[in-house]
Amino acid sequence: MSMPSDQMELPEADIRKHYDAAAGMLDGFDHTPRIAKAKVVEAEEKSAGIGTRRRFRSTTPGLVTRSTARPEGVQLLARIEASDGEDPLVSPLQANVMHNLRRAVAIALAVGEGFAEQTGLLALKKDNLEGSLAAGKKSEFSELLAAEALATLYTFANATSFLLAPHASEVTVEIGEVEEILTDNAQLALHGALWELDQDLAIFADEEAKLIACVLAFAEQVMEKVALRAQNAPRLAAFTGASFKVEADSLTIAGFAPARAGKGSKLTMTFKKPNEVVGNHIAKYQAVKLAKMLMAYDFERKLNPFAEMGGFIFTFMGDGAPGTGKTTLIQMMAGLISGYCEVADYPFRFQNLSTDSIDSYQGKSGQNAKAFINNVVDPNVIGFGTIDDIDQLAGKRGDRQSSAGQLEITAVLMESFAGANTVVRGNCTFGMFSNYPENVDDALRQRAGARFLVDGPQTREDYIDILHLLMGKNHSIPVGDHELFAAQEIKKAVAASFEGHSRPHEDGLLAVFEKVSKDIGALDTIAKLGVYLKGIQEADARFTGRAIKNITDAVKVRAMDFELPDEWMEEPDLFLFKGYDEKLGMITEMTQPITVEMVIQEINRYADSEFRYADKSDEIAITNAVRDMERMEEAKRRYLEGKR
């Protein structure tokens, strides 16, 4: 397989020649911590004279001790062996961790060696050993040693995370902050990191299931801290400007950017089929379309043709009263994507950001939200991220009841959904769901490119269908004069739903629409549509340029008002496995021209939602103000009675 011109191969021979040194580090070395404090006490168990037993290691947390000042001060292999209790044999999982750690250290040493050769550090090391290092070179020598240490340490953590990611389970471990980050030289940096990993394993890997989770959590913490340290470090251009490919592992090392292994998540949720979602016609239709859009993603090009054409929904918000079917919609969409990915053998990753992510520890809530984003946007997987009850999870700025953790999550989501560094590849989508969208921060809510009104069953037919569906099969009650689920036929229902938005639904917006139509006539030109948009902005100052972008994106989606054929999902060779350019051409042929009716309907749909949110928000504010005034009046009355 050919590599990009700016990518260099890291030869396997260069990695394997460091295997002995890597194995030696894992087997045993002495390290006296400089920054972190030791958390465990080591003690030797004397041999009973009848065979060998594992070395006993106390895992009492909180005790501080000095290094044992002997080569076996840190024995990482023995620590890994001890993670399953008293079993005398090494398990396959433990062996996997050992082998991958050795390989990660060897890769890091190979990258560090290449960095030293390219920057002239190797020659400076030789001069320093011979005592002939020029005085004017000492500063450069020190800076290059620190740069090599940062590059080596980040590569070790990056490779560890990448190699072990496919073996991760749902078990997670919180290890706290990594402290022993040393930059005197590459070897000391690795010793410090391995020493702290040994400490963490002693405390957190008290059972085998937590072993990989602990190592992965440690690697993520090291990468984060080293990347932060590297932002102000000099002489790193040779590392950040190069890209190394480890062909045997399909690992790409590109500076301080984490490599991601394409590993999907195994879902245990109950899936729903589209005909089991009653009502919610537009929301259901768009969810089905979006599920198929995601499958057009090209893993080689790392881009989706729909994203290039401007018709991809990166973020959307589903709002509606409690019990109208938001959870069912999530189950339906996740089930569709999971099924499509299973047929195509694509890795699928689903994650939900829940209220468990809010942490009292400063900065931790933001870290949890960022980890959620990074897992879903991973370009090596098809991702679907949901944020249920976002009004409870993300704080509203200026609201005194919003906690610091909630505001951290708000900041992360705003930056990730429409920030300066946001890249929409078309491999993932994020859905925000809420019963009370008026309580969501205005700026965050406007980052939802599409709006799904989840209004549940509406018609007589809807209520008959949902009753029959939920009753199950343990009855013999006849259906009667009704064709089951005929009303849920998506295309027919959606056409009627879109047509219903030719006029606004909210009273405030309807007044603007009628006034503008009376003044300038039918909205049949871009100029007249612009006048209508300005009229909406005058009625609601929150209707900004971002709202116009969301509307135009929705119009582009309507221009692709077609559903990719089911056969394309069932037989991947028909579409999914074709080249990017061929997929782009097939989609372009199906695209229809944009009409004035589409634009008016999408303006009304979006503006209706904003007016609906604003009306609810204002009504809640008025109700709260009235309640406060009534309380104050009652307090005054009681106060005056007490004075008598």
pLDDT, tens only, 567-599: 999 899 999 999 999 999 998 888 888 889 989
- Closest by CA position to 275, among listed 530, 138, 468, 459: 468
pTM (global) more than 0.75: no
What's the mean pLDDT in 617-624?
69
pLDDT band of residue 7 (cuts 50, 70, 90) is low
DSSP state, residue 268: -
Segment 128-156, tens digit of pLDDT: 999 998 989 999 999 999 999 999 999 99
pLDDT band of residue 493 (cuts 50, 70, 90) is low
- Closest by CA position to 264, among listed 422, 107, 376: 376
In this model, does residue 280 exceed pLDDT 70?
no
Contact yes or no for 237/182 (Cβ under 8 A):
no
Residues contacting residue 277 through CB under 8 Å, at least 6 positions apart: 284, 325, 328, 329, 332, 488
Can you list the domains of the chain with their CATH numbers? 10-27+92-253 (no CATH), 274-620 (3.40.50.300)
Structure tokens at 172: 């997670």
pLDDT score for 66: 38
pLDDT score for 321: 75
Using CA atoms, how far apart are residues 495 and 492, in angstroms rounded to an integer? 5
Structure tokens at 593: 């021209």
pLDDT score for 192: 94
Q: Work out the percent of the chain whose per-residue pLDDT is above 70.
A: 87
* Alpha-carbon dihedral angle through residues 343, 347, 352, 356, given to the nearest 10 degrees: 140
What's the mean pLDDT in 7-20?
90
Residues contacting residue 321 through CB under 8 Å, at least 6 positions apart: 435, 455, 456
Using CA atoms, how far apart are residues 434 and 635, in angstroms rounded to an integer? 35
- Top pLDDT among 531 and 561 is at 531
pLDDT score for 489: 60
Using CA atoms, how far apart are residues 185 and 142, in angstroms rounded to an integer? 9
What's the mean pLDDT in 96-118?
94
pLDDT score for 628: 85
pLDDT score for 413: 93
As beta bridge partners, residue 608 has none
**CA angle 262-267-272, nearest 5°?**
125
pLDDT score for 395: 82
pLDDT score for 491: 58
Residues contacting residue 236 through CB under 8 Å, at least 6 positions apart: 147, 150, 151, 230
DSSP state, residue 486: G
Segment 498-520, tens digit of pLDDT: 777 888 888 888 999 999 999 99
pLDDT score for 197: 95
pLDDT band of residue 15 (cuts 50, 70, 90) is very high
pLDDT score for 642: 80
Q: Work out the percent of the chain whose per-residue pLDDT is above 90.
A: 34
Place of tokens 């750690």: 101
Least confidently predicted of 87-101, 174-188, 360-374: 360-374
In this model, does residue 297 exceed pLDDT 80?
yes
pLDDT band of residue 618 (cuts 50, 70, 90) is low
Alpha-helix runs per DSSP H in 210-325: 211-230, 237-240, 281-294, 305-309
Using CA atoms, how far apart are residues 105 and 97, in angstroms rounded to an integer? 12
Using CA atoms, how far apart are residues 291 and 325, in angstroms rounded to an integer? 18
Report the relative pairing of strands 243-246 and 251-253 from DSSP bridges: antiparallel
pLDDT score for 41: 61
In this model, does residue 186 exceed pLDDT 90?
yes
pLDDT band of residue 479 (cuts 50, 70, 90) is confident
Structure tokens at 441: 């921060």
**Cα Dmax for the chain:** 101
Using CA atoms, how far apart are residues 504 and 615, in angstroms rounded to an integer? 15
In this model, does residue 124 exceed pLDDT 60?
yes
Count of CB atoms situated within 10 Å of the CB of 204:
22
pLDDT score for 260: 67
Distances (CA, A) of 311 to 265, 376, 395: 27, 20, 30
Mean model confidence pLDDT for the chain: 83
Using CA atoms, how far apart are residues 79 and 210, in angstroms rounded to an integer? 13
In this model, does residue 70 exceed pLDDT 50?
no
Amino acid at site 534: K
DSSP state, residue 487: G
pLDDT score for 54: 42
Segment 204-258, tens digit of pLDDT: 988 888 899 899 999 999 999 999 999 889 999 999 988 888 988 888 898 898 8
Segment 308-328, tens digit of pLDDT: 887 788 999 888 777 777 888
